[in-house]
């Protein structure tokens, strides 16, 4: 791996980028954010991708995290981004504006890579599940440190809908839930994922991990729980790692 990498994390409201020190996972200088264009069409977002790269005058491999199922560069789902993304070859589209195809991967998988290498999952073997609680619920599943991509455990069905609609951090905001009420929902969710995967460790990440003092004491689970160390930067760090690793499936 090169010493530095470049990662972009694309979300429903913002597109964030930074140069990353690949030996420590630290961001080199502040990350730069541009609002996600509305409508968030692939072409409009490709333009913002070039603006982010140009801002840092970055030359080299680029990693891009998207809130979607991404297989071999192609987007296969669009829960919280424009539906026109479905079936788009994102690696080819971004490659056409960047000059070379970036490594495109799911945002929670990217966050998981960062936590497993440099954060709360460092050195952990067995089954480790990284969950991100934000607009949706993202999941990155690791078996002995290797990523099983695109698990999409925010879309487990609960009362006829994706459970993320009920238990993501956005549900707390939307329904004005207390931390106690929201934590109760997270506990239900953790019980379901525990039944399915019996994880050795669950790492709780995403925006909600920044205020873990408000809810962690209310979490009841048979699983060992840890709080993510990189919160909202994890997607950028993992994307930068993926761009320069031959070990992560494209
Ligand atoms: C998407 C996932 C994403 C998660 C977190 C879900 O709605 O389906 O692909 O990882 O949100 O952004």
Answer yes or no: is the C-beta of 162 below 6 A from any ligand 1 atom: no
| 25 φψ region: left (φ > 0), alpha (ψ -120 to 50), beta (else) | left
Give 153 Cα–ligand 1 centroid separation in angstroms. Answer: 9
Terminal Cα-to-Cα distance of the chain (whole angstroms): 16
Answer yes or no: is the C-beta of 170 below 6 A from any ligand 1 atom: no
Instruction: Give the other-Cβ count within 10 Å of 180's Cβ.
Output: 10
Query: How confident is the model at residue 2, as a pLDDT?
Result: 57
Query: How confident is the model at residue 232, as a pLDDT?
Result: 85
pLDDT one-digit tens code per residue, 112-139 = 999 999 999 999 999 999 999 999 999 9
Give 25 Cα–ligand 1 centroid separation in angstroms. Answer: 22
Q: Of the residues 36, 136, 139, which should be mutated to test ligand 1's pocket, given the most ligand atoms within 8 Å of the CB?
A: 136
Q: Set out the domains of the chain in order of their start, with CATH numbers.
A: 4-108+233-243 (3.30.420.40), 123-230 (3.30.420.40)
Answer yes or no: is the C-beta of 168 below 6 A from any ligand 1 atom: no
Name the residue at shortest CA distance from atom 4 of ligand 1: 138
Regions of the chain short of the pLDDT cut 50: none
3-class DSSP string for the chain: CCCEEEEEEECCCEEEEEEEECCCCCEEEEEEEEECCCCCCHHHHHHHHHHHHHHCCCCCCEEEEECCCEECCEECCCCCCCHHHCCCEHHHHHHHHHCCCCEEEEHHHHHHHHHHHHCCCCCCCCEEEEEEECCCEEEEEEECCEEECCCCHHHCEECCEECHHHHCHHHHHHCCCCHHHHHHHHHHHHHHHHHHHCCCEEEEECHHHHHHHHCHHHCCCCCCEEECCCHHHHHHHHHHHHHCCCCCCC
pLDDT one-digit tens code per residue, 37-77 = 998 999 999 999 999 999 999 999 999 999 999 999 999 99
Q: Of the residues 108, 109, 114, which should be mutated to test ligand 1's pocket, given the most ligand atoms within 8 Å of the CB?
A: 108
Give 218 Cα–ligand 1 centroid separation in angstroms. Answer: 24
Average pLDDT of the chain, as a whole number: 95
């Amino acid at each position: 791996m090169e010493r530095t990498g470049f990662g972009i994390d694309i979300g429903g409201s913002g597109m964030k980028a930074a140069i990353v020190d690949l030996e420590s996972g630290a961001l080199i200088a502040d990350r730069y954010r541009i609002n996600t264009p509305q409508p968030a069409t692939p072409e409009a977002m490709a333009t913002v991708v070039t603006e982010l790269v140009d801002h840092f005058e970055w030359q080299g491999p680029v990693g891009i995290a998207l809130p979607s199922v991404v297989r071999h560069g192609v987007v296969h789902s669009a829960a919280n981004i424009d539906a026109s993304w479905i079936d788009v070859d994102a690696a080819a589209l971004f490659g056409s504006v960047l000059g070379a195809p970036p490594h495109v991967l799911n945002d929670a998988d990217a966050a998981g890579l960062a936590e497993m290498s440099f954060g709360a999952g460092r050195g952990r073997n067995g089954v480790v599940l990284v969950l991100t609680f934000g607009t949706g619920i993202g999941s990155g599943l690791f078996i002995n440190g290797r990523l099983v991509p695109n698990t999409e455990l925010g879309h487990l069905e609960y009362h006829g809908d994706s459970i993320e609609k009920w238990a993501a951090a956005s549900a707390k905001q939307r329904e004005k839930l207390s931390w106690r009420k929201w934590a109760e929902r997270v506990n239900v969710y953790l019980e379901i994922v525990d039944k399915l995967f019996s994880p050795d460790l669950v790492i709780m990440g995403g925006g909600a991990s920044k205020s873990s003092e408000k809810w962690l004491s209310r979490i009841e689970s048979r699983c060992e729980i840890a709080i993510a160390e990189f919160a909202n930067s994890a997607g950028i760090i993992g994307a930068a790692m993926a761009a320069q690793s031959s070990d992560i499936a494209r």
